[in-house]
A = this chain, B = another copy of it.
């Protein structure tokens, strides 16, 4: 025989009708033990490995696949521990739906690759913030698929999963203020897709929501704090920025508010390099609450965001939409955690 056996072949061999055979595999309707056995045996003898997922999907109108759209190269995305954790949570959350995650790149970035418009997905998760996202959003909505946007600017009627970035960052700033700090520098995430490194002018346009909100939170407490933008969320970026911040001994901040833990870790290293003790000479806060490999023995004072929970919430929203329930936008809150990198202002 040349072609793969179908459920019809199995049914024929077992001497039952196709629908009965189908039921044996789906288990949706009771079947007598004898029949089940016969069908099973027939399947085994033919080397039938179960219903073709494609045909089943078409019939059901569901593929069991959730597309996750990234704006960047996959490698870049997974360099970010927060995204990794969030994917983890998302995977957990969609698993009970019987759904898997399909990695997709933003339409604009792909050639003849599989895309939002041609992939057999039941729903989509858009991650990120930039303008490309709008196009992707259009595509998905045109197809009438449920969408959830994570930490991005979505617009009307699209459920979003957000973080209380501003409020949280304000807490960290408050903590520093209570410790007596007045001369504070802020190390921000990239301002826009350009990812230029450097001082942030007072009137800078900040295209990326996360960056803007965390900065606002810090400025709520320290309106005049200088800000320096990193080109990405990496330890080495934090190190480079830290060198700049600590360059002038006469005019050095007593505390640095970094917008990510990786950046903060780099700043810690820059401080060490400059002969400064943390937190005796300089206090440093992070953001994210991820485990930074290689930072021991320090423990960052930081804002712990429930990254995996973010993924789970996203999954829940997807589940809701798939079941025609109203999905809720969700605002997750961060928890302030005091570590060993902040202390009283040096006298």
Report which A residues bind B (CB closer than 8 A). 4, 47, 49-50, 53-55, 57-58, 61, 63-65, 73-75, 78-79, 81, 84-85, 87-88, 91, 95-96, 98-105, 110-114, 117-121, 139, 142-144, 234-236, 239, 262, 265-266, 269, 293-294, 296, 308
Contact = CB atoms under 8 A, between A and B. Distances in A.
B78 A87 contact: yes
Contact of A103 (B55, B81, B100): B100
A327 to B, nearest CB: 20
A143 B84 CA distance: 31
Given A47-B142, A74-B91, A98 B112 contact: yes
Contact of A96 (B54, B112, B120): B112
A262 B78 contact: no
A143 B49 contact: yes
A101 B70 CA distance: 13
B91 A262 contact: no
Which of A55, A87, A95, A104 gathers the greatest number of chain B CB atoms within 10 Å?
Answer: A95
A84 B78 contact: yes
Which of A55, A78, A296 gathers the greatest number of chain B CB atoms within 10 Å?
Answer: A78
A197 B311 CA distance: 32
13 contacts: A49-B117, A54-B57, A63-B120, A64-B118, A65-B102, A74-B87, A74-B91, A79-B84, A95-B110, A95-B112, A103-B103, A236-B294, A239-B294
A262 B294 CA distance: 9
A118 B52 CA distance: 8
A308 B74 CA distance: 11
